[in-house]
Structure formats: C-alpha cells, structure tokens
Chains A and B, each alone.
Chain A
Amino acid sequence: MNWFYLRFSAFSDSVVRLLKQPVTSILHILGMGIALSIPMGCYMLLDGADQFARKLNNTSQLNVFLAADSSEETIKIAEKQLTEIFDGDIAFIDQDEGLIELSKNSEFSGLVKNLDTNPIPHLFVLTPTNSDAKILTSIAQTIESWTFVEEVRFDAQWALKLESFIDLSKILIMLVVLLIGLGFVASIFTTIQLQITIRKDEIEVARLVGATGRFIRRPFLYYGFIQGLLGGLCAVIIIFIGIKYGLNAIQPMLEPLGFYIRSPNGVTLSAPVIFSVSLSLLGAWLSSSNHLKKIDY
C-alpha cells in the first residue's frame, strides 16, 4: 500500500511527475539557473567594482595650490576657510618644505640647487574622512573659485565616473532581473498549463466529487515550488563554480588594484533561491487559478 500514498500524496506526486520527464525538467531547471546566475554574477562583480571605487575615493586627496607669493595672512585665511567647508585632515606644506621634498628626488636635486627663487607654490593637502566623490567635486569647485587659489587638483574624477557607471549598471541589472522574473512566471505558467492538460480528466472528476480549489491547486503549487527551488539552487551552484574557477583565476590580477570580489554570503545566496521559488509559486498559482476559473460552476 505504500504505492498508494506515493501516488496520492501531492508532494511526492509532483516529484514523480518531474522525474517522469527528466530531460525536460533538467533543461528547464538549468535554464532557470543560468538565467538567474547571470545577473547575480554581474551584481557581485559590480559590487566588487563599487567597493573599489569607494576605496579610490577614500584614498583620494584634494591638492589645493595657492597663488605664488601668497602672504602669511592669506595662508591663514585660506586655512580658516578650508576648515569651514571641509571635513577631514588638512595638512599644510609651505613652499620651502615643498622644495626640500622636491630636492630629495635625485632627478630634480641638481635643478633645485640652481634656482634663484622658489617656483613651488604653497600647498594644502586635504584628506577626506569619508566622502562621496560627488561632494568632493563640488567642494573642489568652490575652493577653486577663491581668488588666492591657483589650482585644485583632484584625481578622483574618474572614480566618480566609475561610480555613476556602477549605479547605472545596477539599475540595468534590476531591469534584467525584473524581466527574468516575468520570464519565470510565464515559463512556469506554461509548464503547469501542460501538466494541467495532462491531468484534465483527473481534475474534472476530482472537482465533481467535491475537491476544493486548494486540493486541486496543491500538486501544481508543489510542482512550481520544487521547480523554483531547484532552479534557484542551480543558480547558486553556477555562481559557486563561477567564483571557484573563474574569479579565482583573475583575482590575483585584480588584487593589487584593491579590487576584491566578495565571497557570497548567506544573503546573496538565498536571494536567487527566494526569488526563484516565489516567482515559480506565483506562476503555478496563476496557472491553476486560470484553469479552475475555466472549469468552475
């Protein structure tokens, strides 16, 4: 009598139905896994790039060069104004110090000895405590507008561009994920529709002898759940393999740049599974409801 329960317990029945068409099921699950792992993988890469960009910003400094022959007075005013608008470490390097620094460099030492006047301007080096490239840019612009400032050099411009690129890419990935989600719902919908067609007589008789909508839906929801779960797990496996063999190969090249791909944690790994399971359930629910509505009294 074991067969009896195997046959009718809706869950194992769904498993049996998946196993009955192994090739179709495997291809379907693989398709779901691949579809999910691509945006997941891209997201992780971008996340790494994002950390990288932030790090660049954090190490980036603003070099504020004062106009040549600025007086002591001007330097004091400059320092005061800088502390007002800038949050972070402010170091002053006066022109003599600058010259000494320069002469330490063997290439320039001869040159420096022959100079009559010091061509090096006074310099403030600003190191932000933690700052966003956009804010730093606007601060740099303000400082540059001051009359006693000759030039502001800010090397994180391209980091800013990288950051906007990353933001844009994240939005694009979200769109892709949204489309994939719709695709999931549609694909499970048709799969279940097919299952329903195969079991049409059974559903009709069950309905006639008093089956509730829930009873009829149950095996299809299980089917969607299992399919979604396996699809999500497949994505996780693909991401794992991708990291182990793909990323580990390029990581040594990226590391000197301070570019790290973070290993996936529980959250990043459960996301595709939850995503896949819930959308598959949604597809299965819509599909079975659609059929129930058609056959209902």
Chain B
Amino acid sequence: MIQTENLSKRYPGGHQALRNVSISIQEGEMVFLTGHSGAGKSTLMKLIGGIERSTSGSVAINGTKLSSLNRSALPYLRRNFGFVFQDHKLLIDRSVFHNVALPLLISGFSKSEITTRVRAALDKVGLLEKEALNPQTLSGGEQQRLCIARAVVNKPAILLADEPTGNLDPGYAADIVAMFRAFNRVGVTVVIATHDPAMIQGLGARVIELKQGELLA
C-alpha cells in the first residue's frame, strides 16, 4: 500500500534529513516509525503524505507514484490519508465541531452527512460533549484526540500520526495507542512516528527504525 524506494530528502540549506530509505507497508498493517529526535521520522511521514517533495527516490501509494501526479491531483490523494500532526494544527477561530468538519466540507459532503460523521468521530475519541467548545479550552490530551477525530472523520485508508503521544502523561498515551489499534482492527493502515520506546512495547507491531536519516536494518 505504501512503498518508498531509495527515498532521500535534503532540505534547502543543505541538511540531509533522509538517505536512501526503502520501505514497504502492507494494507491493514500497523507500523511504528522510531528513532531519536532528528532521525527523519517527520520528514518520512511528510514525504509519504505528499506534504514535502523528495530530493530523489520515489513514494508510491497503491502503486501510484506521487511524482507522476500533477499538482491538481495531489489534493485528491491527500483525502486518502488521515494526518495527526505533531503540532496538532487545530484552528482556534472555530469550535471543536468545525475543526473536525473541515475535511468533510472540503470533500463536498452534505450538511446532514457532515453532522452525522463529525458526531461519530467525536464520539469515538470521547469529545462529543465538547463539540461546541473552542479547542484552546481543551487539555493537551483532548487536543490530541481532537486531532485524531479530524484525521479519521474522512474514513481514510491510511492514518499517519506523528508523535501522537508527544507531551502526554503515560496513562493518556496508552489510551491513544489503544484508539489507533481500534482503527487498525477495522482495516485502516496505521503508521505512527514516535521517539518513545515505551509506546511500542508489547504491541507486537512492526517497528521501522531510522538513524540519522538512514534505515536501521
């Protein structure tokens, strides 16, 4: 489902963030991407999601190379993904409900469909009773869950989560991992980037480790 070949990324300014990374992730898999801070995890996630452009090498989603897509096709590709961003990227000028509604609105869903789906997604992450609040009034863990609700509301085939347990206390982190496992169980391919070894333990999921931009065998 996700295939990268000799993927390299050099940021403007010369920093080589990724070097010749070739990985393959199957449909329905749950994979952890680990490594120290600065290893290139976020960069790899962005290249997979078509948010950054690679310097060399290729990314293919369901056999389609991103580099072969033209600019206008990219938005439609992104709709197959659910992103949980490291920095949340919540919009503080609108309610919890409208943050989650945004991807549906963009995809052109009807008003009633949007309402149903947003409520369902908020329910899954336990934020239904907070739909009218401003995201700024939520706790760190709640903000993270809101971000997850927005990522899954589109029923994406692939969920990409970058440090989803970032600054959360361990109890909260376990809740969130459990949530991802639940999505994975219903068929969503899940890729989670984390520098926290505790998160991975005892799950039996595949682990891909990066070190200074290179794949550790």
Contacts and interface: CB of A to CB of B under 8 A. Distances in A.
B111 interface: yes
Contacts of A201: 89, 91
Contact of B150 (A8, A209, A211): A209
A194 to B, nearest CB: 16
Nearest to B105: A8
Interface in A198-218: 201-202, 204-213, 215
Contact of B75 (A5, A202, A205, A212): A212
B98 interface: yes
Contacts of A115: none
A256 to B, nearest CB: 64
Nearest to B49: A208
Contact of B72 (A5, A8, A208, A213): A213
Contacts of B140: none
A1 interface: yes
B55 to A, nearest CB: 14
Task: Determine chain A's interface SS by DSSP, over half rule.
Answer: helix
Interface residues of A, number: 20
Interface in B44-87: 50-53, 71-72, 74-79, 83, 85
Nearest to B94: A7
Nearest to A213: B72
Contacts of A206: 102, 106
Interface string A149-191: 0000000000000000000000000000000000000000000
Contact of A208 (B83, B94, B98): B83
Contacts of A208: 51, 78, 83, 85, 89
Given A8-B98, A208-B85, A215-B75, 11 more contacts: A4-B98, A4-B111, A204-B89, A205-B91, A208-B51, A209-B106, A212-B75, A213-B72, A213-B75, A215-B106, A297-B74
Interface of B: 50-53, 71-72, 74-79, 83, 85, 89, 91, 93-94, 98, 101-103, 105-107, 111, 115, 150, 154
Interface of A: 1, 4-5, 7-8, 201-202, 204-213, 215, 296-297
